Every structure is written in C-alpha cells, then in structure tokens.
Structure 1
Amino acid sequence: MDHWDEVRMFLAVAEGGTVRAAADALAVNHATIIRGIGRLEEKLNTKLFDKLPSGYRLTDAGTDIVELAGQMSMASSQIEAKIFGRDQSVSGPLRLTLPVSFATDLLMPTLVEFRAAYPDIALEIIGSLSVVNLGNREADVALRVVIGDGTPPDKLYGTRLCEFHTGFYVQRNLMTARSTPAAWLLGTNEVIPSDWDPQGGIRMTTTPIRFAEMRSQFEAARAGMGITVLPCFLGDADPMLVRVPGSPVKPTGDIWLLTHSDTRQTKRVRLLCDHIRTAMQGFAGRMAGRIESGDSELL
C-alpha cells in the first residue's frame, strides 16, 4: 500500500483516541493528522472514525483494519531495526530511556561526557518510568529497574548492572524539632509502613500526604514536611536529608541495561552502553544504599 504515512496516523488516532494524542505521538500538528485521515478514508472510500465530543471512535470498518495496521507498523519497525543494526557510524539519532531521577541526579555527567566525545550523535533522552518498546524503535537503549528475578523479554539483550535499594528519609531539622509532627509523604499506591516505627523522638501525624510523582515527594521531604521513601542514591546524596532512625533499607529490584537483539551491535548503541555500564559500576555502592562509615550514625 502506498499510503503508509496515512496508516500510521490512523493507527495513532485509534490508539490515542484523539487527534491531539496522535499528533503528540507522531510529533506533527493536529491539522496534519486530520488531513491524513481524510486522505486514507478517501482512498478506501469508507469512514474509519466517528467524531464524538470525547474523541474519535472507530467505525466497524476502522475496527476491521486496525489489527492489520498494527501489523504494518510492526513490520516497518522491524525493517528500521534491521537497517539500524547494520549502522556502524558514530553519527545519527540515538534514543535512551531511563527513569527521570537517573538522568537528573545520577547519569547526567556521564551523558555530558558521551556528548562531548561523540558530538555527531543526536542523543534523545527519554526520562520516564513507562516501559518503552525497544522492538518498535521507541528507544534504542533502556536503563530500567526490574522487580524480582526478572530476565529480559524475548528479543531483548540485557545486562544486570547492580542492585537498587530504597530507604526512608527526613529533613535533618526535623530530627531536632521535637515539637513539629512529621507527615508520611507517600506515592499514589504506597502505604504507611506497619513493620517499624520512626525512632529518635520523631512524632508522626495520622494523615498522610500523597504525591503523583517522586520529585514532589523528594522536595517536600527536603522542605521538612515529613518522611518519605526515596532511592538511596538520591536520599543519601542530599545534605538536607538523613535516614530515619530505626528504618530499614530495602532491596527494590535490579538495574538492567537493555537493547534490542536487532540493534545491539550498532556502533553508537554499543558506545552508549559502554559509557553507562562503566558509570553504573562506580555507582553500585550508592545504588545499594552503602554509605560512608562516617555517616553510620544515620542508619
């Protein structure tokens, strides 16, 4: 079929439910999406969507072809991956996905060094906790926290780098301000710990405060709002925070560096993986919550 661009737009609207979501996914404006859908409907001589106040809903005809469109998308991604896998140049696009805190608080100096060493590589950094699909070329390299004894899915090539631990942290001043009660600062699905109580004279309020993302929890703890759970590499590095006396340090998972089997031999993929692997080896103690002996009174 000679209307692949229009099929991509159709699939993006079908998956996103709105023209705006499709435009964001494909990095084009919404008018381009609308025109593309119109051209495809004209080519097929059928209506593919019903336009509703809440968004776009597939018609019966649209439903009939959405699975085939998905197969076309997968085939296109596989073709791109095969060609990309043969690329041994040190120029061109390269996508890295990793948690935001890993990028901002841990690996940014490493990425700066990589950029300085290979200025012709157009690095795209995707900071997200979402599992990006490497098979669809949504990213070329992924740094992920894998919970439990996980192994890379089929078609992914992975290296386990180090353990990942979390701990409970509080602002230093709250350790001395005995009259100020502290709140539990929790994420959306986190619960108040029931297997230990804060020591050191910390008084707790009964009502927790919840946050939609970790960065706000982190800043709230730094501001003295209460106790929160943080990655040890983040909490231990902040001079305003200390570990809560009596609290555990918990293994949360393992850090894996992942690439796709079709693209892992691409030279710029290998170069980036080498930089990240070397850096993470140096960070293994921080990731596992091992702190200097001089700070042992905080444990």
Structure 2
Amino acid sequence: MDWDKLRIFHAVADAGSLTHAGDRLNLSQSAVSRQIRALEETLNTTLFHRHARGLILTEQGELLFDATQSMSTRLEAASARIRDSEEEVFGELRVTTTVGFGTLWLAPRLTKLYEQYPNLKIDLMLEERVLDLPMREADVAIRMKEPSQADLVRKRLMTVRMGLYASPAYLKKRGPLEAAEDISQHRLICQNQRSAQVSSAAVLGKKLMALNPGSLLTVNNYFGVLQSVLYNLGVGILPDYVTEEFPQLIELLPEEDQHSVPVYLAYPEELRHSQRVGAFRDFVQSEIMAHRKHMKELGKL
C-alpha cells in the first residue's frame, strides 16, 4: 500500500475536508482528491461519504483511519526518541511498577522530576504483572524482584524491609499480638502469594499462615493491604516504604527475622543512551539517597 496515499488519507480523515487537508499538506484540492480516489480503487472500497458539510468516513474508512492513527502515534514516538539529545529531555516515558510502590512512593515524588524536565511526559503504568521490557510494553521498570531477562540494563536501588503492622484501634478491640502463635486470634492481611512480584516478601506470609490465623484477607497489592490495615480489618504485612508515611501504625513482632525485598530499576539495552531514561534513573537514585538519609536521621537504618 502506498504510504504517501495513506498519509493524505489520514490528513483528509482528520480534517474532514479535501480543502483543509490540502492546506495542511501544501497540495491542491484536486491533487488530494486524485490520491483519495486512487486509494479507494486500490482497496476496491469507498472510504468517504461525500456530504454537503464535508466528508464522513465509511465503516471501511473508520477501520483504515484507526490503523493510520496508530501509525501516526508510533511515528511521533519514534521521532521523539530520535530527537532525544543531551541538551533536552522531552517526549513520552512509559514507567511501570507495582501499585503500592507507584502510588505510595513514586507518584508523590514526581513533582521534582517535572520541575526539572517540564517537557517530559510520564505514562505511569501501575500493575502487579511484570511487563515485557524487551518487547517494549514499557520503557523502564521498578521491580520488587531481580529481572531475569539478559538483555536488560538493571540496577539495584534499595532493599525494602517487610514487617507486621496494625492500627491502635484494631489492637484495642482485638487484643495484643505478642508472639507469632498469637496470629490464631487475629485476621492476617497480606499480599496474594501468587502475585507476580511478591518475591521474598512471601516468606513472612507463609510463616504466619502456617500458624493458622483466625481469619485471612489477601490482596494483590500493598496499597490494598495498607487500606485494610488503616481501616482496622486486621494485622498486615507491609513494606517499610509504606509504613513510614503512617507513623500511627504499630509494628508487631519486630524481633522476628527481617524479611527483605530487593528493588531494581531496569530498562532495555537499546535505551541505554536515552536521555529520558537517564533523567528518570538519576532522579530515582537521587530520591533513594534522600530517602536513606531521612531514614538514618530517624534511626531506622
């Protein structure tokens, strides 16, 4: 199929007029019309209904416009990547991480990144599923487990400590939890053991579930676990990056083994020299350093 004809078709469909499309493309109305007729003949279909107020896409035209719209979006993204330079950081950056980390740690800090790079567009994709970076489902990922693919650039950012927490109101109502065996008198709230990035955080959950908790609530992300704990539903297994923002929560069984989760930043090898990725990587590392300094000042490191 002729790319030039598709480009002209897209302009006409977008403008709804041969004349307006011609103005955009610096072509005469008759030249645009000839190209549209030629494309219709090639496809053996009618792409536009001719109307007194302009052109309206047929059903077949809608299908083709969806395809050219997708092509246009991908070409714009490719153009932005090509223009990416050391002098300027701009364009779209697709970042994926878990719901809990993205909502409670990353998103509140993004103001600083936008202040430094106002032309950067972040598409933040929060889900527990591990997106395929080499297949370009995302540009960069922050994961709660070490990436297994060989064609990724990866950097360990920090280690998150897992702990057991409850609200004062819940403990007042249900009584203390002074030993692991006391979980039989409480409702345990934890991330679903089948979650894609639960990793070593599952260790504490498995240990407590083996002690037959009185009741169990599993959630597929830590934001849900946190909300459940805050609303006095039970005792929850949470990472320290969550609980430090909620000092009213009480840590239980701190003498238990420290169960830790590694946090990695990863991106495809082909984006090693991308200025957008580099800017985001440096920003996250800077925030991690500030986070560590803050934790040391609080005596938690």
Residue 97 (structure 1) aligns with:
96
Residue 192 to residue 269, structure 1, CA distance change in 2 (3 Å) = closer
Residue 100 to residue 284, structure 1, CA distance change in 2 (3 Å) = farther
Q: What is the SS of the residue equivalent to 2:137? A: coil
C-alpha distance in 1, partners of 2:260/2:253?
Answer: 20
AA paired with 1:254? P
Deviation by residue 1:186-242 (Cα, 9 ceiling, x = unmatched): 333365634998xxxxxx962323334432221111121211101111123313311
Are 1:255 and 2:263 matched, yes or no? Answer: yes
Are 1:106 and 2:105 matched, yes or no? Answer: yes
Computing the radius of gyration over CA atoms, which structure comes out larger, 1 or 2? 2
Match of 2:81 among 51, 71, 84: 84
The 5 A counterparts of 1:73-222 are 84=81, 87-88=84-85, 89-146=88-145, 150=146, 153-177=149-173, 182-189=186-193, 191=205, 193-194=207-208, 206-222=214-230
C-alpha distance in 2, partners of 1:182/1:84?
Answer: 53
AA paired with 2:81? F
| Count, aligned residues | 220
TM-aligned CA deviation for residue 245 of structure 1? 3.2
Q: What is the SS of the residue equivalent to 2:130? A: coil
Which structure carries more helix by proportion? Answer: 2
AA paired with 2:138? A
AA paired with 1:168? L
- Sequence identity (%): 20
Are 1:228 and 2:213 matched, yes or no? Answer: no
Structure 2 portions without partners, runs of 5+: 7-58, 68-73, 177-184, 194-201
C-alpha distance in 2, partners of 1:115/1:195?
Answer: 43
TM-aligned CA deviation for residue 122 of structure 1? 1.6
Q: What do you get for the CA RMSD once the two structures are aligned? A: 4.0
Residue 269 to residue 210, structure 1, CA distance change in 2 (3 Å) = closer
Q: What is the SS of the residue equivalent to 1:262? A: helix
Task: Tell me, yes or no, if the aligned pair for 2:95 and 2:141 is still in contact at 8 Å.
Answer: yes
C-alpha distance in 2, partners of 1:212/1:196?
Answer: 20
Q: What is the SS of the residue equivalent to 1:268? A: helix
| TM-score relative to the length of structure 1 | 0.60
Deviation by residue 1:3-28 (Cα, 9 ceiling, x = unmatched): 9x9xxxxxxxxxxxxxxxxxxxxxxx
Residue 291 to residue 236, structure 1, CA distance change in 2 (3 Å) = farther
| TM-score relative to the length of structure 2 | 0.59
AA paired with 2:207? P
C-alpha distance in 2, partners of 1:254/1:86?
Answer: 34
Q: What is the SS of the residue equivalent to 2:115? A: helix
Structure 1 portions without partners, runs of 5+: 6-30, 40-76, 198-203
Residue 249 to residue 86, structure 1, CA distance change in 2 (3 Å) = farther
TM-aligned CA deviation for residue 108 of structure 1? 2.4
Deviation by residue 1:241-271 (Cα, 9 ceiling, x = unmatched): 1111356353333111112111121112111
Q: What is the SS of the residue equivalent to 2:272? A: coil
Task: Tell me, yes or no, if the aligned pair for 2:84 and 2:90 is still in contact at 8 Å.
Answer: no
TM-aligned CA deviation for residue 125 of structure 1? 1.0
Task: Tell me, yes or no, if the aligned pair for 1:161 and 1:255 is still in contact at 8 Å.
Answer: yes
TM-aligned CA deviation for residue 114 of structure 1? 1.0
Are 1:239 and 2:233 matched, yes or no? Answer: no
Task: Tell me, yes or no, if the aligned pair for 1:82 and 1:263 is still in contact at 8 Å.
Answer: no
Residue 47 (structure 2) aligns with:
none
